[in-house]
Amino acid sequence: MLIFLDTPEIEPLKAGHATGLVDGVTTNPSLIAKSGRDFKEVIAEICEFISGPVSAEVAAIDAPGMIKEGKVLAAIADNVVVKLPLTIDGLKACHALTQEGIDTNVTLCFSAAQALLAAKAGASFISPFIGRLDDLGQDGMELIHDIRDIYDNYGYTTKVLAASIRSAAHVKQSAMAGADAATIPPKIFDALYNHPLTDKGLADFIKDWQKTGQSIL
Ligand code: G3P
């Protein structure tokens, strides 16, 4: 499964990149606003060291505006993926940009029917929002399962990118449901590898190794 970091913050992205485990990046207007950075500048900076897909979201809400903005964003770097909202205009823009060979990520997906339309529009990625569905008392993970089934039924190549992830359990469940990718906040990335029993076990091994008085080198 591909792992993307859901942040425009350079420091955690560099730290994640250094692990060799991060395949790409996603951003959204709220995350850009929180960063206080210039949007196009920060996307260009990310693309200098991340060679995988980097999602950058349009701000327009009409298809012609989204197409224009999408082309500007796609010109920043070869690996920019244009993120479009799952509206009828977003789907029209997705279709048009796909025809021009531009990669797209259709976001704000909350139903399997929406995901079906995004695949028909040629989306490279569909972003179902798990956490926000869970917040409403619905089952976000069921959506991932449903989309996987539908895409497999028809051989759609649109990648399922589990988004709005709130826990390491969400990542595990997305992987079990067959999501192609998950985009996760940096703190959830850390939660994926941290385990108290790993820390305790390592502390014991170090102590016992010191007792041997040996050295491997
Ligand atoms: O970037 C899209 C998505 O991951 C947002 O997550 O936590 O704001 O629902 P969240």
Which of 171, 195, 188, 197 has the alpha carbon at shortest distance from 16? Answer: 188
Separation of alpha carbons 13 and 15, rounded Å = 5
Pocket test for ligand 1, best of 4, 54, 86, 132 (most atoms within 8 A of CB): 132
Per-residue pLDDT, 107 = 98
Residue whose CA is closest, atom 9 of ligand 1? 164
Which of 97, 101, 98, 105 has the alpha carbon at shortest distance from 78? Answer: 101
Per-residue pLDDT, 122 = 98
Q: Give residue 34 CA to ligand 1 midpoint distance, Å.
A: 13
Query: Looking at 40, 71, 83, 211, which residue is catalytic?
Result: 83
Per-residue pLDDT, 102 = 98
Catalytic residue check, 83? yes
Q: Give residue 164 CA to ligand 1 midpoint distance, Å.
A: 4
Per-residue pLDDT, 72 = 98
For the CA of 131, the nearest atom of ligand 1 = 9
Per-residue pLDDT, 105 = 98
For the CA of 55, the nearest atom of ligand 1 = 1
Question: Which residues of the chain are modeled with pLDDT < 70?
Answer: none
